[in-house]
Structure 1
């Protein structure tokens, strides 16, 4: 969580700094906000990849731990359909051209 918070705070700070500089330059408040968002996004893609990857890996690891605790997902409908098809196949009801 720490990596994600650091990454988010740095991106927000970068956006605020760029917005303030562009607003002081006379671009206009709304246009400065949009331009600051685009520039901050590009700069974070270029220079904050280590933080972004660390945050993503931590997020992925936490998601995998949650999935492991839940156990395998079982689709009851698919299980039933498979059993009906298996029974039909054993009884010879499924023809070769239906496959």
Structure 2
């Protein structure tokens, strides 16, 4: 499965997320698994709505954080792929 800038992501139905201090917590309810992530990672997850593609998500985060855009895009593709493998995200429509 390949993640591209045009890929639209969605949270799996059993996933819940929240912020705790400067970190984020992602809960996979069906597995009883908790992931603790940094501020940028939880913001990325918060923005995933099943409508925006990865390119749009990158643009939104680029406006919020002081980071090089190409680096951000590459990091988000890699992180999205990791979250798909961990059953946190899926590709919308699949």
- The normalised TM-score by structure 2 is 0.33
Larger strand share, 1 or 2: 2
Bigger fraction of residues in helix? 1
Which fold has the larger relative contact order, with Cα–Cα distance below 8 Å and residues 6 or more apart in sequence? Answer: 2
Question: TM-score scaled by structure 1?
Answer: 0.31
